[in-house]
């Protein structure tokens, strides 16, 4: 059931996270427009949508009626004004660079209706660093999905000191309507809940690999089999995207000036080679066969 007052959603950013978040909304019955400045990214997002829905139907995981309705609910555009001009909720899913997000929020504030909520999917940049770029700080918060959004249930809803209770509850309601589990944070903290814990594991894993203590494969095995994690830190970083891991690390380093927070040399090297993980076919692991099977 949709949340009262929310019928149209715009997702800005059609990358790995963005297009799946958009599809979550479309499957929940919302009219969703997914926006990106890159036409190639938009084409891949549209192709993923068609493939995902048809595969779910073929495996009897979804009815043809549900799949068709979701596809009709979802559209793609490179025109931000068209996508966000009548939105009740905008979910920002662009790169983890503060200045880019601030410019976007300032622009959205001018484009969107005055009642619209503007939320960021950022996993580390808190919304209080974006709110003053708009004239509606009470309608802004973090709405952080996990990778992959279509499969992962938790969504962290993070209230800043500027966020109204109505906004927090509305966004939590949208999460529930999408079949997700809203995790409410009553105040901001770097990394929120899950990533704050996960980043400690990833940072130590990177240190062990960078200093030659063990291979990334053995570190992943140790974490899976010894700690009972579903996946090892390097496989998880490949899934998240090493470019995102790098940007998060750099943003935290800029914010704190703490040398210990600079990205791992191994991650920097991978990003320089454009080996970003699953989405490019290679990261720490090789995914080229998987991409070929999916027609990429």
User: What pLDDT is stored for residue 261 in this prediction?
Assistant: 86
Higher pLDDT, 64 or 254: 64
Residue tagged active-site, from 35, 73, 121, 195: 195
CB contact at 8 A, 182 and 172:
yes
Helix (H, G, I), strand (E, B) or coil at 50: helix
Angstrom distance (rounded) from CA 293 to CA 12: 28
In a domain, 3, yes or no: no
**21 φ/ψ angles, rounded to the nearest 5 degrees:** -60, -45
- Of 185, 214, 232, which closes a domain? 185
In a domain, 30, yes or no: yes
Cβ-count burial 150-187 (b if 16+ within 10 Å, e if not): beeeebbbbbbebbbeebbebbbbbbebbebebbebee
Query: Are residues 27 and 122 both part of a single domain?
Result: yes
Cα Dmax for the chain: 55
* 140-145 and 117-120 beta bridge pairing: parallel
| pTM for the full predicted model | 0.84
Query: Are residues 159 and 22 both part of a single domain?
Result: yes
Residue tagged active-site, from 144, 188, 252, 264: 144
Angstrom distance (rounded) from CA 274 to CA 282: 9
Q: Point out which residues pair with 274 in neighbouring strands.
A: none
In a domain, 295, yes or no: no
Angstrom distance (rounded) from CA 247 to CA 94: 11
Indicate the number of domains in the chain.
Answer: 2
Indicate if the pLDDT at residue 292 is higher than 90.
no
User: What pLDDT is stored for residue 295 in this prediction?
Assistant: 55
**11 φ/ψ angles, rounded to the nearest 5 degrees:** -110, 120
CB contact at 8 A, 163 and 142:
no
The CA-based angle 254-258-259, given to 5 degrees, is 100
Indicate if the pLDDT at residue 120 is higher than 90.
yes
Query: Are residues 166 and 217 both part of a single domain?
Result: no
Residue tagged active-site, from 92, 96, 156, 275: 156
CB contact at 8 A, 69 and 49:
no
For 124-183, what is each residue's pLDDT tens digit?
A: 899 999 999 999 999 999 999 998 999 999 999 999 999 999 999 999 999 999 999 999
Rounded mean pLDDT of 65-69? 98
Distances (CA, A) of 181 to 175, 206, 276, 289, 293: 7, 30, 29, 33, 32
User: What pLDDT is stored for residue 254 in this prediction?
Assistant: 86
Query: Are residues 15 and 133 both part of a single domain?
Result: yes
Query: Are residues 81 and 226 both part of a single domain?
Result: no
Residue 144's domain is classified under what CATH number? 3.40.50.720
Indicate if the pLDDT at residue 293 is higher than 90.
no
Indicate if the pLDDT at residue 296 is higher than 70.
no
In a domain, 234, yes or no: yes
Query: Are residues 66 and 157 both part of a single domain?
Result: yes
User: What pLDDT is stored for residue 16 in this prediction?
Assistant: 87
Indicate if the pLDDT at residue 72 is higher than 90.
yes
User: What pLDDT is stored for residue 255 in this prediction?
Assistant: 82
144 a catalytic residue: yes
In a domain, 115, yes or no: yes
195 a catalytic residue: yes
Indicate if the pLDDT at residue 13 is higher than 90.
yes
- Of 150, 185, 220, which closes a domain? 185
Query: Are residues 23 and 146 both part of a single domain?
Result: yes
Query: Are residues 139 and 116 both part of a single domain?
Result: yes
Residue that is written with structure tokens 């209230």 in the block: 159
Q: Which domain holds residue 96?
A: 8-185
Rounded mean pLDDT of 208-215? 98
73 a catalytic residue: no
186 a catalytic residue: no
Indicate if the pLDDT at residue 6 is higher than 70.
yes
Query: Are residues 123 and 37 both part of a single domain?
Result: yes
Structure confidence at residue 227 as a pLDDT band (50, 70, 90): very high
The alpha carbon dihedral of 212, 253, 203, 41 has a sign of negative
In a domain, 289, yes or no: no
Angstrom distance (rounded) from CA 39 to CA 45: 10
Residue tagged active-site, from 73, 122, 123, 199: 123
Among 72, 63, 67, 84, which residue's Cα sits nearest to residue 30?
A: 72
Angstrom distance (rounded) from CA 290 to CA 61: 21
Token pair for 167: 């906004």
Across the chain, what does the average pLDDT equal? Answer: 95
Query: Are residues 152 and 213 both part of a single domain?
Result: no
């Amino acid at each position: 059931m949709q949340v009262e007052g929310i019928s149209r959603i715009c997702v800005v950013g059609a990358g790995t996270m963005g297009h799946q978040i958009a599809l979550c909304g479309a499957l929940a019955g919302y009219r969703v427009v997914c926006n990106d400045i890159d036409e190639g990214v938009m084409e891949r997002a549209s192709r993923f949508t068609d493939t995902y829905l048809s595969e779910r139907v073929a495996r009897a995981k979804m009815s043809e009626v549900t799949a068709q309705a979701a596809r009709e609910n979802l559209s793609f555009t490179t025109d931000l004004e068209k996508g966000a001009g009548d939105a009740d909720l905008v979910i920002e899913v662009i790169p983890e660079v503060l200045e880019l997000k601030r410019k976007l929020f300032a622009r959205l504030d001018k484009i969107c209706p005055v009642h619209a909520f503007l939320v960021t999917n950022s996993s580390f940049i808190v919304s209080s660093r974006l709110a003053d770029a708009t004239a509606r700080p009470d309608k802004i918060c973090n709405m952080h999905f996990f990778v992959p959004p279509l499969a992962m249930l938790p969504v962290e809803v993070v209230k800043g000191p500027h966020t109204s209770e109505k906004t927090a509850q509305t966004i939590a309601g949208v999460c529930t309507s999408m079949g997700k589990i809203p995790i409410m944070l009553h105040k901001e903290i770097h990394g929120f809940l899950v990533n704050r814990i996960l980043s400690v594991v990833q940072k130590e894993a990177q240190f062990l690999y960078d200093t030659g203590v063990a291979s990334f494969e053995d570190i992943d095995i140790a974490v899976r089999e010894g700690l009972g994690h579903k996946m090892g830190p390097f496989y998880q970083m490949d899934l998240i995207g090493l470019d995102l891991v790098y940007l998060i690390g750099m943003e935290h380093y800029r914010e704190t000036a703490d040398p210990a927070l600079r990205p791992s040399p191994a991650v920097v090297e991978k990003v320089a080679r454009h080996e970003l993980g699953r989405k490019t076919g290679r990261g720490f692991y090789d995914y080229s066969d998987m991409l070929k099977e999916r027609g990429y």
